[in-house]
Amino acid sequence: MPDLFDSYPYRDRFPVLQDLPAEGRPHDDVLAELDAMAHEEDTVWASGQCSGTIYHGDPEHYAFLGEAFTRFSHANALQRDMCPSATRFEGEILAMALDIFHADSVSDGKPAGLVTSGGTDSILHAMLCYREQALARGVARPTIVKPETAHPAFAKAAHLFGMGLRVLPVDPATTLVDPAAVAAAIDEDTAVVVASAGNYPYGSIDPIPEVAAVAAERGVGVHVDGCLGGFVLGFLDGAAHGIPPFDFRVPGVTSVSADTHKYGYGLKGTSTVLFRDIALRNRAYFFVPDWSGGKYFSPGMAGSRSVGLLAATWAAMVTLGRQGYAARAAAIHETATAMQEAVRGIPGLRLLGNSPFVVAFTSDDVDIYHVNDALRARGWRLNGLQYPDALHLAVTGPQLQDGVVARFAADLAAAVEYAAARRGTPAVSSALYGGVPGGFTPAAGMFITSVMTQMMDAQHSVPTT
Ligand SMILES: *Cc1c(COP(=O)(O)O)cnc(C)c1O
């Protein structure tokens, strides 16, 4: 069992602060300490054995983004009179994102967007806009309809904004939502229908034209969650790769979220949420015109924001350009395809979903979490899935290095052998990542949330010596 509660390995190496130091430390000293931690933590993903999370992977790119960030890190995007640069960065980030997702094909609205702090934040803003729209038409409890595979941020939005949540099962064979089920789930309370391009577990792309058609017929908008896949899918030839249209070219798609801090290759802390029509976007605006502190207004949920993140995101997009993104998308697709081939070549494993950038697999023969244990011992860090128990690797920049696919194929084959020798014994990593044996029950849910609470407490507490 890994020690879930040892979230603080630096205790023995660096002084542990439990209060504010009386005297400040020299810059060099502080930077040396930061370097030590950063270099060590970067080795975790540098070899290309870590799923997702680090999307570009080239240290020079990150150094460049750091330079861009530095120029504006201290400026506040709320005070546009002091930093009209923020208006330029944000406007151009949105123009570029709207271009990628074919807002130019929209004839029934005026496309617009928001730059937010991340995928969850983009989804929250979109759901808030749909809630306001539904409330305005008199719906008492606006509801989100989403496939089970759509991101938990939609459940978070329902939780935070007092919305209903209707979860639709997906077809286990394809991992996709059934448009007929979407049609049946829509009622007078439905504020929005969600579809993914692609979803997190399998990277698969819901049948968005069909979903949008049944939703539009019932007068309901569709949010496409392209947080993960948008900046890959937007640069692949859909027709050639069997990827259905998923963006504003599809009538009835009323908003799209796409993360600049994932495959957009920006710094962590930015995402875009795009709307077919500005009237829906503007439902996120907030005003307090009669406050003693002056007239307050903000475009979304945040107050102050760093212009540095906008500058770095803009810098990432303009240095990559269409060619840079397309080259990376093609390389990612090629690598993912090679890894999927490797999975197909190993008896006992079964691929899940169909994605140009995620490799997801389960086993009907061995405990996939034994496979995960063996992969972890070999330095791999895949993500664990449940219902069914499975693993996935989202292919990113670090996997594009020579030798990674071959290492994946060899280590995976060895890991399946390891698992075959351990049938009937519990796997170590299933405790943390796997589904509950015998199915999910309320009691299991309570136990799991209590363990998760302890983990979060351990990760968000003042340090002990
Ligand atoms: C990562 C992800 C999100 C949420 O993004 P955060 O940036 O982690 O808040 C939403 N949808 C999908 C499909 C994702 O993979």
Q: Look at residue 381 and give its three-state secondary structure.
A: strand
pLDDT at residue 1 in the model: 33
259 and 281 housed in the same domain: yes
Residue 378 lies in a domain: yes
Neighbours of 319 (CB within 10 A): 13
Straight-line distance from the first to the last Cα atom of the chain, in angstroms, rounded to the nearest whole number: 23
Q: Look at residue 285 and give its three-state secondary structure.
A: coil
Residue 455 identity (one-letter amino acid): M
Choice from 116, 125, 228 to test ligand 1 binding pocket (greatest atom count within 8 A of CB): 228
Residue 200 Cα to ligand 1 midpoint, Å, equals 7
Residue 204 Cα to ligand 1 midpoint, Å, equals 14
Residue 198, preceding bond cis, omega within 30 degrees? yes
Query: Which of 314, 349, 381 is the last residue in one of the domains?
Result: 314
394 and 423 housed in the same domain: yes
pLDDT at residue 6 in the model: 64
**Residue with CA nearest ligand 1 atom 14:** 228
Residue 6 lies in a domain: no
Pocket of ligand 1 contains residue 225 by CB under 6 Å: yes
Residues 376, 434: Cα–Cα separation, whole Å = 15
The residue ranges of the chain whose pLDDT is under 70 are 1-6
Residue 320 lies in a domain: no
Strand partners, 167: 146
Choice from 124, 200, 260 to test ligand 1 binding pocket (greatest atom count within 8 A of CB): 200
Residue 303 Cα to ligand 1 midpoint, Å, equals 22
281 and 391 housed in the same domain: no
**Residue with CA nearest ligand 1 atom 5:** 119
Average confidence score pLDDT of the chain:
96
Residue-wise pLDDT tens digits, 308-352: 999 999 999 999 999 999 999 999 999 999 999 999 999 999 999
Place of tokens 């939703």: 215
178 and 226 housed in the same domain: yes
Residue 312 Cα to ligand 1 midpoint, Å, equals 20
414 and 446 housed in the same domain: no
234 and 356 housed in the same domain: no
Pocket of ligand 1 contains residue 120 by CB under 6 Å: yes
Query: What is the domain extent for residue 463?
Result: 436-465
**DSSP secondary structure letter of residue 277:** S
Task: Please report, for the domain that includes residue 133, its CATH number.
Answer: 3.40.640.10
Residues 246, 41: Cα–Cα separation, whole Å = 36
Residue 123 Cα to ligand 1 midpoint, Å, equals 9
Pocket of ligand 1 contains residue 118 by CB under 6 Å: yes
Residue 420 Cα to ligand 1 midpoint, Å, equals 34
pLDDT at residue 255 in the model: 99
Residue 270 Cα to ligand 1 midpoint, Å, equals 11
Pocket of ligand 1 contains residue 51 by CB under 6 Å: no
91 and 217 housed in the same domain: yes
Task: Please report, for the domain that includes residue 339, its CATH number.
Answer: 3.90.1150.10
pLDDT at residue 437 in the model: 78
pLDDT at residue 5 in the model: 56
Residue among 267, 264, 232, 266 at smallest CA distance from 247: 232
Residue 16 lies in a domain: no
Chain centre distance of CA 230? 10
Residue 353 lies in a domain: yes
Enter the pTM of the model.
0.97
Total of domains in the chain: 3
Residue 252 lies in a domain: yes
286 and 400 housed in the same domain: no
Instruction: Pull the structure tokens for residue 25.
Output: 């430390």
Give the burial class of 123: count Cβ atoms within 10 A of its Cβ; 0-12 exposed, 13-18 middle, 19 or more buried.
buried
DSSP string, 317-358: HHHHHHHHHHHHHHHHHHHHHHHHHHHHTSTTEEEES--SSE
